[in-house]
Copies of this chain bind each other. A is one copy, B any other.
Amino acid sequence: MSAIDELATELSRLPGIGRKTALRLTYHLLRQPPEQSRKLADALGGLADRVHRCSVCSNLTENDPCDICGDQRRDRAVVCVVEEASDIGAIERAGEFRGVYHVLNGRLSPLDGIGPEDLNVGRLVERVAPGTVREVIIATNPSLEGEATALYVQRQLAAHVPMISRIARGIPVGGDLEYADGVTIAQALSARREM
């Protein structure tokens, strides 16, 4: 396969990038100075080597524990539970939340064969078991799967945590936390209700 076809094939494996877009990007890179492709290649190469899961919260990070778990100014008594590590970035950009996180690495989805045992919930129960956590905010997406996941997590934690809350449906139902704007996320956080 030619170098052009090879790159176009690899690019077209990315979500939302079809064959024509992949070719357009490839020819764009060929028109740029070679440094641009090299810097992109380096950034990609570094990704898998440098980024790992935080052993505390399962966030994607280059340090262990991650910058948030390691930050002494964050309130460890408030844990925000999210589906994916990318949701943490979305909440952090809202700039409202000063607690710590826990990443489930997915949501309950029987159709996709994803059950409770596939979620990172056991580690969450361990984290709250000592009784030092005052509140758990469940920030799974307000979708069918996200709600089922929230309910499941709430039941697992109920015995250990005095207050379990759910972010408000300021985020449109069926939407995706990753794409929500900061104001909406901030409102959803401040309007949270006890479960």
Main secondary structure of the interface of A (DSSP, over half): helix
Tell whether A45 pairs with B36 under 8 Å between CB atoms, given A27-B86, A178-B24.
Answer: no
A-B contact list, 22 entries, CB within 8 Å: A3-B43, A6-B46, A7-B40, A7-B43, A7-B46, A10-B39, A11-B40, A11-B43, A14-B25, A14-B28, A15-B24, A15-B25, A16-B24, A20-B179, A24-B178, A27-B178, A30-B60, A30-B85, A34-B48, A37-B47, A38-B44, A40-B44
Evaluate contact between B51 and A30: CB separation under 8 angstroms. yes
Complex contact A85–B27 (CB within 8 A)? yes
Docked pose: A44 CA to B28 CA in angstroms: 12
Give the chain B neighbours of A135 by CB distance below 8 A: none
- Tell me which residues across on chain B come within 8 A of A172, comparing CB atoms: none
Q: How far is the CA of A7 from the CA of B41 in the complex (A)?
A: 9
The answer to whether residues A37 and B44 also contact, given A20-B179, A21-B16, A179-B20 and a CB cut-off of 8 A, is yes
A75 part of interface (Cβ distance < 8 Å): no
In the assembly, what is the distance between CA of A50 and CA of B38, in Å?
Answer: 13
Residues of B within 8 A of A74 (CB): none
Judge whether A89 is part of the interface by a CB distance below 8 angstroms: yes
Q: Is the beta-carbon distance between A86 and B45 smaller than 8 angstroms?
A: no
Q: Which residues of B contact A195 (CB under 8 A)?
A: none
For the complex, what is the distance from the CA of A4 to the CA of B37, rounded to whole Å? 17
Q: Is A29 an interface residue (CB 8 A)?
A: yes
Q: Are B4 and A51 in contact (CB under 8 A)?
A: yes
| CA–CA, A178 and B44, complex, Å | 28
| CB-defined contacts of A6 to chain B, threshold 8 Å | 43, 46
B84 near A51: Cβ-Cβ < 8 Å: no
Nearest CB on B from A83, distance (A): 12
